[in-house]
Chains A and B, each alone.
Chain A
Amino acid sequence: MRVTLKVLRYNPEADRAPHWESYQLEAEPTDRVLDLLHNVKWDTDGTLTFRRSCGHGICGSCAMMINGVNRLACKTLVQNLDTDTITVEPIRGLPVEKDLVVDMAPFFQAFKAVKPYLINDDPPPERERLQSPEERAVFDEGTKCILCAACTTSCPVFWVNGTYIGPSAIVNAHRFIFDSRDKGNGERFKALSGGGGIWRCRTAYNCTEACPRDIPVTELIEEVKRAIMVNYV
């Protein structure tokens, strides 16, 4: 089938402002949007710039706004879009560096702020720490996160307020808060509860809709809110 690929392009070395560029392509319904971007880059316009690596939704490189919704370009097939006009824009709320590439530094800064690592200073046992399958299941969802930023950059609060820590960081905090082996909740709650923290979430659910790993992001956020609340009252 014939498709029109419209890309919001911006090259700080040449352009004053972002502008749309259209490409006509021949595509299979089963082609990924990433394939289309590659086709343009490899056959027509080598300057088209985007991030990608794994090509099958596991490395988290290729989050972009496709037909108005955040998705992974490598996990979105042409046939999923039900239209032959495909628009691609960079994810929102982070500074655009070039075309579809944004500066991820603020995103990872928020991630680091929640102390996203196991905190447990007890000397570890000789063998593994024990954990029942039930205890393991409680925090399973958060372990799927690939740090693609699709959620955070779909959040209407984050778009307008860069101080909001964002859903991704909260998901990664959840992963440890609910891990039976972890003892760092005091520190994490402090990071989450301050200004720009979790209380900025207005339950808009864009994050949940956007997550390519089908993590119930808002549900996890709400669980963390309740955990913090219960902890302090």
Chain B
Amino acid sequence: MAIKTRNFNVARQQASTNIELIWWVFMRVSGVLLVFLVLGHIYMNNILISNTSIDFDYVASRFSQPLYKVYDLVMLVLAMLHGTNGLRYIIDDYVHHDGWRNIVKYALYFVVAVLITTGTMLLFSFPFNKVGG
């Protein structure tokens, strides 16, 4: 394995706040919540029914119930933030070139921001009967 040694001082200059601690705690808190949310979600959509039976009507009926709106919104945001921060760790680990690392990270943040926004819009723009179909 070719390893390019960067050193700890370089890293310290990059961050000297407690933001890393906060993210660390967030990973754990969101993790616990996600256990229930995600496993519950899978149970409902993959075990109770067959995933292949899911279609627009199913999605529409689900998203029209306020409880699911909240459930899915919390799950969406937590999973996105949790996953993104997780991937940030991984990018920090494997992408050594300073410039590339930032490009990759910001590309990730951009995609996630877009998806969180559209996902939220999706949940709150229901019912979408108005938008054709």
On A, residues with C-beta under 8 Å from B are 92-95, 106, 109-110, 113, 157, 159-166, 169, 190-191, 193-197, 199-200, 225, 228-229, 232
- Some 26 contacts from A to B, beta carbons below 8 A apart, are A92-B3, A94-B5, A95-B3, A95-B5, A106-B5, A106-B7, A109-B9, A110-B7, A110-B8, A113-B9, A159-B3, A161-B92, A161-B93, A162-B4, A163-B8, A163-B14, A190-B16, A193-B18, A194-B11, A195-B14, A196-B10, A196-B11, A196-B12, A197-B12, A228-B21, A232-B21
Asked if residues A196 and B8 are in contact (CB atoms below 8 Å), the reply is yes
User: In the complex, A177 Cα to B49 Cα: how many Å?
Assistant: 54
Confirm or deny: B32 has a beta carbon within 8 angstroms of a beta carbon on chain A.
no
- What are the residues of chain B within 8 A of A228 when measuring CB–CB? 21
Closest beta carbon of chain A to B43's beta carbon, Å: 28
User: In the complex, A161 Cα to B11 Cα: how many Å?
Assistant: 10
Q: Render B100-111 as a binary contact track against A, CB cut-off 8 A, 1 for contact.
A: 000000000000
Closest beta carbon of chain A to B30's beta carbon, Å: 15
Q: Render B1-27 as a binary contact track against A, CB cut-off 8 A, 1 for contact.
A: 101111111111011111011011100
Category for how many chain B residues contact A: 20 to 34
On B, residues with C-beta under 8 Å from A are 1, 3-12, 14-18, 20-21, 23-25, 89, 92-94
- What are the residues of chain B within 8 A of A195 when measuring CB–CB? 11-12, 14-16, 20
Closest beta carbon of chain A to B67's beta carbon, Å: 32
Asked if residues A160 and B25 are in contact (CB atoms below 8 Å), the reply is no
Closest beta carbon of chain A to B101's beta carbon, Å: 11
User: In the complex, A110 Cα to B8 Cα: how many Å?
Assistant: 6
Closest beta carbon of chain A to B22's beta carbon, Å: 9
User: In the complex, A108 Cα to B113 Cα: how many Å?
Assistant: 40
User: In the complex, A26 Cα to B11 Cα: how many Å?
Assistant: 48
Closest beta carbon of chain B to A54's beta carbon, Å: 27
Contact among A106, A113, A157, A194 for B20, CB-based, below 8 A? A194
- What are the residues of chain B within 8 A of A160 when measuring CB–CB? 3, 93-94
Asked if residues A229 and B25 are in contact (CB atoms below 8 Å), the reply is yes
Q: Which among A93, A193, A194 has the highest number of chain B CB atoms within 10 Å?
A: A194
Nearest residue, chain A, Cβ from B14? A195
Asked if residues B5 and A162 are in contact (CB atoms below 8 Å), the reply is yes
